[in-house]
Amino acid sequence: MFGLKVPTPVGWLPVIMGDFDAFLLDHAANERKASAMAMHLVSHYPDRTELVREMVDLACEELEHFRLVHRVIEARGLRLAPDTRDAYVRALQQQCRKGSKVYFLDRLLVAGIVEARGCERFGLVADALPAGELKELYVDFTRSEARHHGLFARLARVYFDEAVVATRTGELLEVEAEVMVALPLRPALH
Ligand SMILES: [Fe+2]
Ligand SMILES: [Fe+2]
């Protein structure tokens, strides 16, 4: 899917379904961070008009996702938990090279890869959930993540040469596969 080198390990889904409350809390945090990340790009690259327009839309959409997940959390009588470090996202962000041009490219590509993995995993969750509102919600999240992956891939090609984008995407996807496979299985998106 989207060039991801390795599918999510089969052991991941049972861990999620075995503690769906914990997964929801982590998922909510991911949506909030995705929204903040989009606005961070806006503040970092204010002169890139197309990027700014797309990231403002994305920030709103991810915040809406946060609102939807938080509603489920509230309905279950749960409460948001303090932030924990996301070793997966951190490891990928550490791959962003120094130097303003390559750093920008890497940030776009890493964001797109995180969306791609999110899409794959929300799809697994959507398939596993029984018919109902929650399943529909995860079907929608899966579609959104697919779109977001496409958005970052397109933005990378707006600002960079197609061949450069393809080469670097391949390199980052290799790293992503290594990082993802090494993650401990826990009731969390990553
Ligand atoms: Fe989202
Ligand atoms: Fe997203």
Q: Which residues contact 2 (CB under 8 A, 6 or more apart)?
A: 112, 113, 116, 119, 120, 146, 149
Which ligand has an atom closest to residue 150 CA? 2
Q: Is the CB of residue 65 less than 8 Å from the CB of residue 99?
A: no
Distance from the alpha carbon of residue 59 to the mean position of ligand 2, in angstroms: 9
Q: For residue 1, name the pLDDT band (cuts at 50, 70, 90).
A: low
List, for residues 174-185, the tens digit of each pLDDT value. Answer: 999 999 999 999
Distance from the alpha carbon of residue 97 to the mean position of ligand 1, in angstroms: 26
The pTM for the full model equals 0.96
Tokens of 44: 């970092």
Distance from the alpha carbon of residue 143 to the mean position of ligand 1, in angstroms: 10
List, for residues 144-181, the tens digit of each pLDDT value. Answer: 999 999 999 999 999 999 999 999 999 999 999 999 99
Which residue ranges form the domains of the chain, and what is each CATH number?
A: 12-182 (1.20.1260.10)
